[in-house]
Structure 1
C-alpha cells in the first residue's frame, strides 16, 4: 500500500495542495519553501497513532495549532489533511483518511474525521456520541484501538513511517544530548540502539549489504562489524586497508560525516517496507555517490514508497527520474504552490527532448535575488 494522493488545506506553508504521489517522489524548491513541512504531514500522522502519542501531543510537539496553520490562511480556518491509499501507482484508491482540526478556547478539536473503504464511507465524525460528549473530539478514532478496527491497516501504515535525516554528531556523541528524543528519532541519536535491537540474523544481513556499498564508495574501506564494548554499549567498527598493518580499527565516533550518513541511509533503505521520508540525502556525500542515489533508492526500495527532498543537481541529473516523480514547490503570496513537474507546460518539451530534471526544472528553484549575494558586505 502506498500514498497515492495527498490533499492539504492550511497546513504550514501550504494554503491548498492536491497532488498525486508515485512510488518514488522528489521534492524540489528553494530554501524555506516547505519541503520539510510537506514531509512532516506524514510524521504528524505517525505521531498521532504511535504509543504515547495522540492528536493533542502531535499538535503540542509542533508548538500548537497556530504553528501548524498556514500563515497565509485566514485565522481560525481548519487545518485539513486527506490521504489516499492504493495498492500501487495509477490505481484507484482503496482507502481514504481525512481529518480537519480546529481550535476553540485554546483547545484543538476535530472538525471532522472521515474514512472511506473504496467508495464506501465507513467513518463520519462528529457522530451522535461526539455531539453528546465534545471531549471525544479531542482524540481521533485513528489512534484508538477500540475504534479503528475497521481501518487499523491505515493506523499501522502511519505508525511505521520512517523519517531519516541522520546527523553524524548525534550518532558520535549521543550521550551528550540530554532530554527526550524527538519522535521517530530522525536525526539518528538512537541509531545504534536501532541496530542493536534488530534481530541478529537480520542485523548481520543488513550490515553485510552496507559493507558491500561502503567497499564501492569509501576508498580503502575493508570491513564493517557490530560490536559491544566492555560496558555493553553498542558500536559500529570499521577496518580499512591502511590500518591493517598495525591492526587499528575505528569506531563510529571516528567515521567521517559522509560515511555515517551513507551507513544511515543504506540502513533505512534496508530496514522495512514502510513509507520512508528522506531529507537531503546528498548531504556530506561525494558528488559521484550522489549521482547514484536515485538508482540506489529504486533498487532498494522494493515495495516501499520513498519521498525525499533535495537541492542537488547531481542527484537530479539522473535521466531515470520522470517528471511525474518530481514535485516543484514555489513560494507565492498565498502560500507555497506544489506542482508536478510533468504538468508544467514550459518544462514538458525539455523533458521530451531528453533533458534531466536538473537541467529542465532545477533552475526554477533559484532565489530571484541570488545574484545580489555577490554584493553582500
Structure 2
C-alpha cells in the first residue's frame, strides 16, 4: 500500500496542504522551508500507532506539546488536522483507506489535548466517526485515538500496522563511530543510527549475509579500493561490528572496523541497508550528505532498481536540495513537491504546467525546479561582514 494524498491543516509551518504523493516523491525547498516538518507527519502517525510505547499523547509530548505542533499563523482555529489517503497502487481511482485525525487543546481546566475528529473510511464506507455519544459523555476517551487501541481498531488494524511500520533513518556517522565514547540516551526508533549495528546483528543470518553481499558489490563500485565487507561480533564483549578490506600495497593488510570508515561510506551503507530492509513507507532526509556527487546522481536509479526487484514495492519520500541528485533524468516530475515560504507559513505544491513542459523538453528537475528554492537575497550573503 502507498499513501496517495496528504491533507494538512495547521501542522507546524503549514496552514493548509493538499498534495498527491507518488511511489517515489522528492520534497524540495529552501533551508527552514519545512521539509523535515513535512516528513514528521508520517513519523507522528507512526508514533501514535506503535504497539509499544506509542499513542497520541506521547507523540504530542515528544514534540513539545500541541503548542509546538500548531501553526503559529492559525490565529482563530486551534485544530490541527491530518488526512491521508492510502491505495494499493498510485494510479487507483479511489483510495482503499482514508484516515482523518484532528486534535486541539481542551481550552479549559487541565488543558489536555483532545481529539476533535477521527474518521476511517474503507473505500466509500465510513467505519469510524468520532467523537461519539460515549466520547462526549466521558471526555477522557478523547485523549486516545481509536487507531492506537487494539480493542477498537479490529476493522482497520491493517491501517495501524501500516503506519507503525514506517521507517526513518538519518544516519549520523559520528554517532556510529564514537557511540561508545559519546554514550548518552538513544531516541525511540533510533532515527540517527546509534543502534545501526545492533539492527544488523538482530537480522537473521541468511538475510543479513544476502544484504551485506549486495551492499558489498555496490560499495565496490562506489568506493575506491574497496574489496570486501563482513559482519563480525567482538570476541571479548560480543558487540557487533562491520569490517571492510581495501586493496592495499600490503596484500595481507588487516581489516578496518566501522570507526575507520569514511562518513560517506557509512552513509551509503546505511542508505543501502534501509532500501533492502522491509517494504513499509521509507523516509529519507537529505541522502546526499557526505557523498560524492557522482554517487548522489545515481541515488534515484538505485532506489528504482532495488524497488523493481522486490515483490512488494516500497514507497519512498525523499527530502533534498542536491543539484546532483535532481539532475538524474530518471526522476518523474509527477513525484516532485515544492515547498515555498510565503507571508504566513509554507505552501506546498506539485509542479505546474509550465514546469511539466520544461521537463518534457529534456530539462532536469535540477534545472527547472531547484532554482525556485533559492532565497531571493542569497547573493548578499557573500557581502556579509
TM-score class normalised by the smaller sequence: over 0.9
Structure 1 match to 2:192: 187
Deviation at 1:76, TM superposition (A): 5.2
> Residue by residue, what CA displacement relative to the aligned partner does 1:216-260 show, whole Å, maximum 9, x if unpaired?
000100110000112100000001111752431110011000000
> Residue by residue, what CA displacement relative to the aligned partner does 1:174-221 show, whole Å, maximum 9, x if unpaired?
234444322321110110110011111101111001001000000100
Give the 3 Å change call, closer, same or farther, for CA 118–132 of structure 1 in structure 2.
same
Q: Helix, strand or coil for the counterpart of 2:8? A: strand
Matches within 5 A, 1:165-244: 165-229=170-234, 230-242=236-248
Give me the whole-angstrom Cα distance separating, in 2, the residues matched to 1:242 and 1:54: 52
Give me the whole-angstrom Cα distance separating, in 2, the residues matched to 1:349 and 1:197: 48
1:254 to 243, 260, 266: 260
Give me the whole-angstrom Cα distance separating, in 1, the residues matched to 2:183 and 2:290: 25
Give me the whole-angstrom Cα distance separating, in 2, the residues matched to 1:312 and 1:82: 29
Is residue 2:367 matched to residue 1:359?
yes
Is residue 2:338 matched to residue 1:328?
yes
Is residue 2:321 matched to residue 1:299?
no
Q: Helix, strand or coil for the counterpart of 1:329? A: strand
Q: Helix, strand or coil for the counterpart of 1:336? A: strand
Structure 2 match to 1:127: 132
Deviation at 1:72, TM superposition (A): 1.6
Which 4+ stretches in 1 moved above 4 angstroms?
Answer: none
Deviation at 1:146, TM superposition (A): 0.7
1:340 to 314, 339, 350: 350
Given that 1:76 and 1:102 are in contact with CA atoms closer than 8 Å, whether structure 2 keeps it comes out as no
Structure 1 match to 2:28: 28
Give me the whole-angstrom Cα distance separating, in 2, the residues matched to 1:239 and 1:305: 33
Is residue 2:83 matched to residue 1:82?
yes
Given that 1:72 and 1:333 are in contact with CA atoms closer than 8 Å, whether structure 2 keeps it comes out as no
RMSD between superposed Cα atoms in Å: 1.2
Deviation at 1:117, TM superposition (A): 0.2
2:160 to 150, 155, 161: 155
Note the residue ranges of structure 2 that are not aligned, 5 or more in a row.
none
Q: Helix, strand or coil for the counterpart of 2:54? A: coil
Deviation at 1:299, TM superposition (A): 1.1
> Residue by residue, what CA displacement relative to the aligned partner does 1:93-142 show, whole Å, maximum 9, x if unpaired?
01011100100143111011100000000000111221121101000010
The size of the alignment, in residue pairs, is 375
TM value normalised by structure 1: 0.97
Is residue 2:373 matched to residue 1:372?
no
Give me the whole-angstrom Cα distance separating, in 1, the residues matched to 2:250 and 2:27: 42
Given that 1:76 and 1:103 are in contact with CA atoms closer than 8 Å, whether structure 2 keeps it comes out as no
TM value normalised by structure 2: 0.95
